[in-house]
Homo-oligomer: A and B are copies of this chain.
Amino acid sequence: MNQNCTALPKAELEALKVEYEAQYRKLADLKLSLNMARGKPAPTLLDLNADLFERMTDYTAADGTDCRNYGVLEGLPEMRQFFGSVLGIDPERIIVGGNASLNLMYDAIARLYCFGTSKTSAWSKEEKLKFLCPAPGYDRHFAITQSFGFEMIPVEMREDGPDMDKIEALVASDPAIKGIWCVPLYSNPQGICYSDEVVARLGKMKTAAPDFRIFWDNAYGVHHLYGKTKLADIFEACEKGGNPDRAYYFFSTSKITLPGAGVAMMAASIDERDFILKHMTIQTIGHDKINQLRTLRFLKDADGLAAQMEKLAVELRPKFEIVAATLERELGGSGLAKWTDPKGGYFVSLDTLDGCAKETLRLAKEAGVTMTGAGATFPLKNDPRDRNIRIAPTYPDCKELQQAMDLLCVCIKLAGVRKLLGEY
């Protein structure tokens, strides 16, 4: 346990500052060059997919479809069945996309903007558009709604999901609020899992907008590191709440097989699925069925997927443990930071003292470690308290990660005591 810096007299802070500066210079002398900005899998994780690249001699789907040729817009039946069994979704609701669920999300917003929903008209015709953004959250979500001109309303995250009291109050009164971004399991960046109550309230809350949409990006839905965390069924919650069309569900194998060549999917109510397919059939003749077939033959079924996830977890657990152990050792009790302890997913979220995130990451970058930019986890990249840092431990190897974490901790401490000393 470290001493609590926030309660120290100035002289002791000055002494700590000298100590941390020396530590910082020592680590800077290592001339590290590490990039931890994005949640990318390490080559060792990618190598677990070698069988995906075996020779392929049969291109035929279960129903006889020649997957080399055109067609099957909604995706191969066995691929939809697979996603359905893994996620507990009726395969009828599922549309298989290309290699990126982000692309499906962007296109969903674009479709709502240009054409509306199965029951309501184009969002572009409305004077003002707003979107709820639980924050800290995923920068690429926020970039989409920013690009389409939405006013983004940050909502605080709690231990079991976003602040539902605030959300219910907002959506009940403002018809311009059209939707919400959610990463319901092992949220990016905190690793928070939505409780059953939060899911139920999202499904049943009264919204002034009749076409309110939940963007349910279950990106880490199977990325358990220490046993399975259950997630309530958002479609069931919406149906029980009398809002059957409310949820759009997204998922992909990008962080299961290959980020660059995974298989993405979305799911929705049958009415919305029909509406989406009606537009998608004009957008494309069909997504890559060969990759669907390859991916499915590699993962096989829900059990095969679970086995693959466990292989990934074997690689990932030590990395998350390095992060947790280093933070606890260097910062535990110091009062200079608090952080999350995710049981799955891809990230750890850390809050410095107010006003210290930018300075911390500047110091880290100058010493050779690039982290996700300060503010990136908030809409418009604006972290009002300048304190959130996203740690992405998946790409570096364990040795590099340890070096990066050592450096990050020193930067947090140095920026923290300087802040306490009123130096910036």
- List the interface of chain A (C-beta within 8 A of B): 38, 40-41, 43, 46, 49, 53-57, 59, 66-71, 98-100, 102-103, 106-107, 110, 113-115, 124, 140, 143-144, 147-148, 254, 258-261, 279, 282-291
Which residues of the other chain, B, contact A38 by a CB distance below 8 angstroms?
Answer: 70
Cross-chain contact of A110 among B66, B68, B114 (Cβ < 8 A): B114
Cβ-defined contact, B114 with A148, below 8 A: yes
Cβ-defined contact, A55 with B57, below 8 A: no
Cross-chain contact of A71 among B49, B53, B260, B282 (Cβ < 8 A): B260
Which residues of the other chain, B, contact A43 by a CB distance below 8 angstroms?
Answer: 66
Cβ-defined contact, B284 with A261, below 8 A: no
- Copies of this subunit: 2
Cβ-defined contact, A261 with B283, below 8 A: no
Cβ-defined contact, A284 with B106, below 8 A: yes
Instruction: Kindly state the separation between the CA atoms of A405 and B107 in the bound complex, as whole angstroms.
Output: 42
Closest B residue by C-beta to A290: B261
Instruction: Kindly state the separation between the CA atoms of A43 and B144 in the bound complex, as whole angstroms.
Output: 41
Cβ-defined contact, B143 with A98, below 8 A: no
Instruction: Kindly state the separation between the CA atoms of A282 and B285 in the bound complex, as whole angstroms.
Output: 23
Cross-chain contact of A114 among B113, B260, B282 (Cβ < 8 A): B113
Instruction: Kindly state the separation between the CA atoms of A285 and B105 in the bound complex, as whole angstroms.
Output: 12
Cβ-defined contact, A100 with B285, below 8 A: yes
6 A-B residue pairs with CB within 8 Å = A53-B55, A53-B56, A100-B284, A102-B284, A258-B290, A261-B289
Interface centre among A66, A283, A286 (most CB of B within 10 A): A283
Closest B residue by C-beta to A46: B68
Instruction: Kindly state the separation between the CA atoms of A106 and B107 in the bound complex, as whole angstroms.
Output: 11
Cβ-defined contact, B284 with A260, below 8 A: no
